[in-house]
Amino acid sequence: MEIDRANTKPSDLLKKIRAITRAILEDLCNGRSPLIFIDRFRNYCTDVTSRCDCKSDSSKGQEIVGMQRECHVHRLDVMLRVLLIIQKLLQEGRHGSKRDIYYMHPSAFQEQAVVDRAINDICILLQCSRHNLNVVSVAKGLVMGWLRFIEGGRKVDCISSPNNAYPIPVDVEEVKDVVTVADYILVVEKESVFQRLANDEFCNKNRCIVITGRGYPDVPTRRFLRLLTEKLRLPTYCLVDCDPYGFDILTTYKFGSMQMAYDVKFLRVPEIQWLGAFPSDSDKYDLPKQCLFPLTKEDKTRTESMLLRCYLQREVPHWRLELEKLLERGVKFEIEALSVHSLSFLTDEYIPSKIHCGMFI
């Protein structure tokens, strides 16, 4: 599946869709059970010996979807319905969201997750990315700072008001002429931290670009960040809560998600560095006990599971050590806990000192 998805043409995809549906119809007409072979991808495994091949972009086996099992019959039905909708979108040059697709056959699809899975399967079958299918996500991410670009013929000038929030473009392929005078890119986990930086006029005092995915980042946010790192070649830092969910968000930016492992090469940002918050920061910055919360049973289970991910041992063993510290200490804290010193401590002291002194990993 090593192809240039960015240049996948609608006409080529329509040919593939017709070939797939024709093969299924021929099987049915000849009394054969149609079989769909779907490559399986992963961006990590739990082989901590580093002998795995997860770094490869090749598939890790195939899944066969046929009509022998009832669940597969429903899955095939959903896939064909979604294929028909995508075919129409491509033919008419229109775009639709995953939610739009769900509401076209809600009784058949039953839940959004079924549609999401079908879209991922179709991307693998057609060897393309989701945006090539004219299926778009509603971008929830925000950007501000020393950045200017053209989106679909419209000029987006963040530089004129560097502390104002602008929505992340939905169609990243339409982003052109990216210009910046920034020194680095800062990715923050939460909108509340993003707003803290905006209120403190962080981008006026620091020539940077700030992005938030407002929690787990959606596809447009990840693709936009990938575009900026490729075009601008700026140092990129990530600031997340010191808890298992923050760490999982950090790894989603750097290594991609398992759900979209087939497209990880085009979504991950391998250059991103972890700025904080580290488990040791609670001692380093004298956070009172009232700011620390015990890890729940779910937190511990999640952390133990993440420690087994092969890429931590293979590519960022120092991150793995920090995650072990989190488990050993048994406590977590939010980025906002640093406000115990002063409301602007995060923007005036914590972030600038970490970047200037190289306190990131």
Catalytic residue positions, numbered: 103
The whole-angstrom distance between residue 269's C-alpha and the CA centroid of its chain comes to 9
d(CA 297, CA 182): 42
The whole-angstrom distance between residue 95's C-alpha and the CA centroid of its chain comes to 21
d(CA 182, CA 203): 9
Q: Tell me how long the chain is.
A: 361
The whole-angstrom distance between residue 206's C-alpha and the CA centroid of its chain comes to 26
d(CA 48, CA 323): 15
d(CA 208, CA 195): 15
Write out the DSSP string of 89-146: HHHHT--EEHHHHHTTSHHHH-SHHHHHHHHHHHHHHHT--GGGGTEE-----EEEES
Count of C-beta atoms within a 10 Å radius of residue 11: 9
Q: What's the helix, strand, coil split of the chain in %, to 5? A: 50, 15, 35
